[in-house]
Amino acid sequence: MASSELQPTADAALRSDNLRMVGKLLVVAVLMFAFGYALVPIYRSICKALGVNVLSLSEQALAGNAAATGRNTQVDLSRTITVEFDANARGVWDFKPAQRSVDVHPGELTTVVYEFRNIQNRTMAAQAIPSYAPMQASAHFTKLECFCFNEYTLKPGESRQWPVVFVIDPKLPKDVRTITLSYTFFEVGGKIPPAPHAAVAAKEGRS
């Protein structure tokens, strides 16, 4: 009889332990989500305090190297890569690509356009951070011109169209057939830099 009376007590204790463990895991998950969401503003704050924009410097260095050699890149007509474009806004912006995807050959110079509109009733400065999927494509995706190189300021209701000029390295692994270029556009402080000029959209290297 004593053994049967102890069994419900043991089960109740086990359930209580399980509930506490689930609660702890939920707290950890929420904290991890909050940290990931706050990572970009924290990064920007550190760069602003140090007077350095690491992202822009690295992107511009890649663009400079590609500008010197990109026009002589051999176009691989035997392959076609689908490049998809995505836009995310952290703030009150109307931000989107003019086209959702484009098919290109590796080594082919390509120009696409992103559209911006400040739908708030105040002037806002912002910058975009690019990301790629799959991650391995980032080493083979070179932007010769991109609005993500600088911060820009838009007046209330102001609209802009900015180009992204890119080339995909023919050394891209053969199993990669689709690349997603995604931008996150968020508000920052800063002066008004000159807007980028549209690059030549002619595709070179075709025989």
> Does residue 134 have a cis peptide bond before it, meaning omega lies within 30 degrees of 0?
yes
| 31 and 68 fall within a common domain | no
Quick one: pLDDT band at residue 197, thresholds 50, 70, 90?
very low
Do 48 and 60 sit in the same domain of this protein? Answer: no
Residue 170: which pLDDT band, with cuts at 50, 70 and 90?
very high
> Does residue 195 fall inside a structural domain?
no
Q: What is the tally of structural domains in the chain?
A: 2
Q: Quick check: 154 pLDDT over 90? A: no
Higher pLDDT, 96 or 51: 96
Distances, alpha carbon 37 to alpha carbons 96, 126, 138, 158, 171, in Å:
21, 17, 22, 27, 34
Contacts of 3 (CB under 8 A, 6+ apart): none
What pTM was computed for the model?
0.58
CA dihedral 114, 119, 125, 128 (to 10 degrees): -30
37 and 103 in one domain?
A: no
Same domain? For 138 and 45 the reply is no
State yes or no: pLDDT of 22 exceeds 80.
no
Are residues 155 and 93 part of one domain? yes
Tell me the residue range of the domain where 125 lies: 54-188
Residue 197 lies in a domain: no
**In-domain check, residue 199:** no
The mean per-residue pLDDT over the stretch 61-75 comes to 55
